[in-house]
Structure 1
Amino acid sequence: MNQAEKIFKYPIPNYIDYFDDSEDLSITPYAVSYQYSIDNNGIGPYGFNTIKAKKLTDILFSNIKLWNGTIFKEGLQSMFGVSFYYDNSFIEEQEIELKKYFSLKKKNLLFERFGKPTTPLNTPFIFDLIQEKKFNSKKINKLLDINPNFFLNVKYSPEGGQTMLFFNEEIWSKIKEFCVENEINYSELNSIDNLKSW
């Protein structure tokens, strides 16, 4: 097994809450972090930055687009947000809704300036999915019902670094298969506290 790289699964820590209080999550997510350049003391940086890590994400996820609360960004990102994959029809629908929303908002501002009546705005579903570095739990639950092909990008420090939060256990099974085939160690931990700081 490749000792220089390792992937970890662990429960989301309680000390950093990335979810608002709008609703209890219908499924509790789990966290996955990737460590590389690990020394003899088990210390090394975190992030999906190596060739093997990128190969893993390429195999697991295609057509990734991340919503960071403002815009969609293509490809795997290390920034905070919601990453959608496989089915782009949902994303395309949301992008259309966002364009309509901002176009109508501009028109309303002009109409207000000239004292004309404005049109009510329908806020796109995705618009307030993220607010002030927190995920809207109610909307995450809705996403789990309508579009399960997503994961959350967060960052834990000093342990964990760039981390993915998953709601589907099947993803972890696929990760383990990849690790066996590519000689990467993997470990299921009881707590993020079992990770080494970086």
Structure 2
Amino acid sequence: MAWIQEQLAAVPVWLTLLIVFLLPMAEPALPLLGMLFPSQTALMASGVLAHHGALPLPAAIAMAVLGALAGNVIGHLVGRRWGPRLVANLPARVTDSPGYRAALHTVGTYSARAVLLGRFNAVLRTLVPVMCGTVGVPWTRFLGLSLLGSLLWAPSCVAVGMIAGGSWQKWGGSGVLAAGGAVLLLTSSLPVLLSYLSSRKAQANAALTTAG
């Protein structure tokens, strides 16, 4: 994160805010490209900068929320328009990956709620909006849950950076970042765990039905 913080600190405030908007937008809007950009880490870095007065906090949070919401909206539209074609052209290493299967199962099980559950998981955050559009998840419900997920996720990431920035000189920031990382890891793992448990339950029910 230190490298990203240094890069953001070296550019004008307006450009930093633009980056804070664009990176969350790129993840679901351009799934393959979005996997290459650490938007969650960038938001945490923006929180560090905000703590030191190098970035206005309200603007950083607003840009992060709007970027996350815009990315979900564009991802949904991309899925509705080109979803089947995109899926057909994905390489096998993507479609056979655990993350892709988890995203597919999460959307199939939770429908629009998948966009809320997946917001805190990097892989699901990237793939779920496009998948929701591909399978025709209703627009209004998708939009409402996307807004809720963005309002929960973006300020949380910036807040972790703010807390880390406040403790950087006193504790070196490592302890706070470790605690924040543990919280983010827990929330990131929760959607996959729920999807896995749901899948096992469905398999058990199917086995009982067959046996019966």
What interval of TM-score do these two structures reach, taking the shorter chain for normalisation?
under 0.3
Q: Which protein has the larger Cα radius of gyration, Structure 1 or Structure 2? A: 1
Which structure has more helix as a fraction of its residues? 2
Normalising by the residue count of structure 1, what TM-score does the alignment of the two structures yield?
0.27
Which one scores higher on RCO, CA 8 angstroms, separation ≥ 6? 1
Normalising by the residue count of structure 2, what TM-score does the alignment of the two structures yield?
0.25
Which structure has more strand as a fraction of its residues? 1
